[in-house]
Amino acid sequence: MSNENEKTAAEQADIADSRKKKFRIPRHWIAIGAFLGIFGLFVGFTLAFRSDQFTYRVPSGLTKEEMSLIVKDFNPMQLKALKENPEQRKQLSEEIARLLSLAKEADREGITAKPAVKSELRFIESAVVANNYDQKVNENPDPQAGPFSSVTEEQVKAYWEATDVEPGILDNLGWKSVTPETREKGFQEFIDAKISLAKESGQMPEDAKPSEEELKMAKDIYAKTQITFDVAEGKIASAGELPEAEKNKWQEFKKSTQLQVKLQQAQFLAQYYGQNVLSKKLEVTDEDVANYLKENPELGDVSKKKEMANEVLKKLADGGDFATLAKEYSEDPGSKENGGLYEDVKMGQMNPAFEKAALALEPGTYDKNLVETNFGFHIIKLESKKETKDAEGKASTDYSVRHILISTQVTDPENPMSRPMPAKDFVKTKLQSEREKQLLEEIRKNNPVSVPSEFDIPEVSEEDVKKLLEQQQQMMGPRQGQQQPPPAPPKQNK
């Protein structure tokens, strides 16, 4: 079978192995981040940010008011669906509850005490308030300028010298006692944590180090983030002295940002815990698979399949036509209707065992023995082969081959639409899924959270929905096959 077909099966065959390396939070949990589109990349806020005083507490749930804040800026179609369908409201609250439960489990097992994790949680707080404040005070920024474009080089210099970036605003917050050494130490903790997390997740090789240029850029962004955070903190602290309308705007800003931290930090913790703790708990060993197959012999028994393949092999020996038999017996949908033929195959495209057996034949002959791969039992006939050169100019071989596949792969009986996969891989995936479900249920039970499914949802008009659909159609462009207006006729020279 070709690597394209093999890749399709292998994607499922390797599920268990990939999960051993890195547990992934269930897709619908991660989808919360996208569904709650108002939150952007950085979320979180605190009015008591100090590196030596930071303590993270996982929320035990959300209030009705907070749920209303979450959906406030959903698009009209999402709001309409939530308004009309109680099940969707229930699903949204349940997804958020699951996320918070997993974060609480991470905290319960001491993950939040790890220096790198603690640093990241702290930086999420400062990053979100800086990001949100930057967007609030720069509603129409230059798209070419990038984030924090309003922060000047003089302010960056003042930050590293530990002076107020806006004298007067921060006087009551105690920043005058901060020294340049303290801020340098804060940056070093930040960069060390980032590198540690990147290496732990496999995103950065163990022996890798950031370049001087990368460190310079990181330090600049770090300073601008903290500067903007400091200014925003001062604005919030002094909001009580503002006129009522302005004060209410800043209180709304504070509520929104405080809500965002709960979700973003929880999502970070859930992802970290899943990849570094749950993945180990979900590992399925070869012994586990062997024991399951022993208890369920019908899954691992390929004797009947082998017997069928030998019967087809006998029909060939009795003079049967290979292409005809392939159309009748082969279970490879990619070549069955073509008499089992794959033409002009380049070396390396097929399963290694399959290719080795095929190229060992003389053109026009078939292998008198069955060839077993993770797909099943193959009967192989080589039609032709020729010497060529690959893309790098090295000697290679192109060949055309027919085969009859008697598949030994299995399909999940609970999901008939799923693709077949080797029995061992099916069992490994099944056991891991069962363990995952059990563990996540235990986590929910041991870490109860309260998230209401009934909350206020803004009214949406049909006109709002219509406008959104029109905007989406404009972004997508004309559909395939849809006629476009003819170009304007060329102007004639007078």
pLDDT along the chain (494 residues), means of 10: 44 38 38 35 31 70 94 90 93 94 95 93 90 81 73 88 56 56 91 93 90 93 90 87 90 90 91 92 94 88 93 96 97 94 93 96 96 95 92 90 95 83 91 93 95 93 87 70 43 42
pLDDT of residue 473: 83
CA-nearest of 42, 224, 211, 176 to 121 is: 42
User: Are residues 258 and 322 part of one domain?
Assistant: no
Cα three-residue angle 396-399-402, rounded to 5 degrees: 150
CA distance 79 to 70: 11
What gap in Å lies between CA 316 and CA 246, rounded to an integer?
87
Q: What residues are paired with 389 via a beta bridge?
A: 395
Q: Check whether residue 59 and residue 160 sit in a common domain.
A: yes
Residue pointed to by tokens 């603690």: 118
Same domain, 146 and 262: yes
- Rounded to whole angstroms, the Cα distance separating 494 from 320 reads 78
Q: Residue 344 in contact with residue 398, Cβ under 8 Å?
A: yes
Structural domain includes residue 486: no
pLDDT at 217: 92
Q: How far apart are the C-alpha atoms of 69 and 413, rounded to whole Å?
A: 43
Same structural domain for residues 461 and 370?
no
Which domain range does residue 396 map to?
303-407
Q: Based on the fold, state whether residues 215 and 340 are members of the same structural domain.
A: no
Question: DSSP readout, 42-101?
Answer: -----S---TTT------SB--HHHHHHHHTT--HHHHHHHHH-HHHHHHHHHHHHHHHH
Which pLDDT score is estimated for 105?
96
pLDDT, residue 6, reads 43
69 & 186 share domain: yes
Place of tokens 């308004």: 83
Contact 54, 122 (CB under 8 A): yes
Task: Specify whether the CB–CB gap between 30 and 36 falls below 8 A.
Answer: no
Domain membership flag for residue 297: no
Indicate whether 50 and 198 sit together in one domain. yes
Q: What is the pTM of this model?
A: 0.70
> What pLDDT does residue 73 have?
83
103 and 212 fall within a common domain: yes
- Structural domain contains residue 414: no
| Residue 459 in domain | yes
Instruction: Judge whether 28 lies within some domain.
Output: yes
Residues 277 and 398 in one domain: no
Is-contact 410 426, C-beta < 8 A? yes
* CA atoms within a 13 Å half-sphere pointing along the CA-CB vector of 78: 14
DSSP secondary structure code for residue 296 in this structure: S
User: Are residues 312 and 275 both part of a single domain?
Assistant: no
Q: Provide the edge-to-edge strand list for the sheet that holds 341-346.
A: 341-346, 395-407, 376-389, 371-373
| CATH code at position 403 | 3.10.50.40
Residue 55: φ, ψ to 5°: -135, 125
Return left, alpha or beta for 202; rule: phi > 0 is left, psi -120 to 50 is alpha, else beta. left
Where does a domain end: 375, 407, 439? 407
pLDDT of residue 31: 36
Q: Do 89 and 191 fall into the same domain? A: yes
Q: Count structural domains, the chain.
A: 2
The verdict on residue 19 lying in a domain is no
Query: 120 CB contacts (<8 Å, ≥6 apart)?
Result: 193, 194, 197, 268
H helices within 146-300, ranges in order? 153-160, 180-200, 212-237, 244-273, 279-281, 286-295, 297-300
121 shares its domain with 52: yes
Terminal-to-terminal C-alpha distance of the chain: 66
